[in-house]
Structure 1
Amino acid sequence: MIQDDTRKLLGECDSGIQMALHAIDEVLPSVESPQLRRQLHRCKEDHQILWRQTHDLLHRFDGRPKAPSAVTKGMSSLKTTVKLTLQPGDQSVADLLADGCSMGIKSLHKYCNRYPQAAQEARTVATDLIAAEQRLQRDLWPYL
């Protein structure tokens, strides 16, 4: 049970991290503020570190990486493209990413509750990922 919950929680972390990295990459070309650009690059680096930790743990617990669903990724890209086409600028970038952070935080809490037997290392990755999303969300407030 512990190993199964651990693999599932890590898989959800993997999927969420990939979505976050994809979202940041999608909006970076539209960012106007140098400060916001720096914050997003720092956030991206934090997520890449968490992604490596997640994959190391997946390997250790005989788990497999989990990609986000094509529908989820496609809908996210469509929303980003439409919003940035109709309302370009840092406010739209911040709005899109803040919504993504909220969804990520909510999902991660849900998965931590769903997989209570997950190993502490997996729970730590999930908690660190929640903290990274919360930091980004706070960094975005001045741009909303």
Structure 2
Amino acid sequence: MPNEDTIKLLKECYAGAKMGIDGISRVINKTENKKLKSLLQKYLKDHERLEEKIQAELKKFKDEEKDPNPLAKAMSWVKINVKLIKGEHDKVIADLMTEGCSMGIKSICKYLNEYSGAMEGIKVLCYDLVEIEENFSKDLRKFL
């Protein structure tokens, strides 16, 4: 049976993956550069695959997902829409996604430290999310 740290960490990891999916989904159709769009599609799929794994673990533990913080989602929506008004969508999108990756890495690492008693298999899912975010951020650099 999972301990409390395991459930809490799993829920935070789920919320992080959902936040990534939400952010990418908001900008993908506003992208003009085909290479950037392809990159966004790849990382959207990576986030969705990880989300499914996390969701399966939550179901195994008979627990529910945690949605991203509504305030964080609202702030993300406002930031994306305000910045995209200025033009140069692809550079703005790459910048926004890079910022999102940094915030996601910081958040997951914080929760890994906070819920250090979580099961190792669940920590691995969080490390997978951090790796996805790190790689996404690196791949975005050429579009900044």
Residue identity matched to 1:57 = E
Q: What aligned pairs does 1:66-77 form with structure 2 within 5 A after superposition?
A: 66-77=66-77
SS at match of 1:66: coil
CA separation in 1, counterparts of 2:117 and 2:35?
Answer: 40
The alpha carbon displacement at 1:103 in A equals 0.3
**Percent same amino acid among aligned pairs?**
36
**103-112 or 54-63: bigger deviation:** 54-63
In the alignment, structure 1 segments of 5+ residues that lack a partner are none
Contact in 1 for aligned 2:58/2:64 (Cα 8 Å): yes
Q: What aligned pairs does 1:22-101 form with structure 2 within 5 A after superposition?
A: 22-101=22-101
SS at match of 1:68: coil
After superposition, give the CA deviation of every residue in 1:27-86 in whole Å (9 maximum; x if it has no partner): 112211111111111101111110011011111223220001211101100000000012
In the alignment, structure 2 segments of 5+ residues that lack a partner are none
Residue correspondences, number: 144
SS at match of 2:3: helix
Aligned to 1:120: 120
CA separation in 2, counterparts of 1:41 and 1:23?
Answer: 12
Aligned to 2:110: 110
CA separation in 1, counterparts of 2:87 and 2:34?
Answer: 19
CA separation in 2, counterparts of 1:114 and 1:49?
Answer: 25
Contact in 2 for aligned 1:2/1:117 (Cα 8 Å): no
**52-61 or 123-132: bigger deviation:** 52-61
The alpha carbon displacement at 1:88 in A equals 3.6
The root-mean-square deviation of aligned C-alpha atoms, in Å, is 1.3
TM-score, length basis structure 2: 0.96
After superposition, give the CA deviation of every residue in 1:92-143 in whole Å (9 maximum; x if it has no partner): 0001000000000000100000011111111010000000001110011011
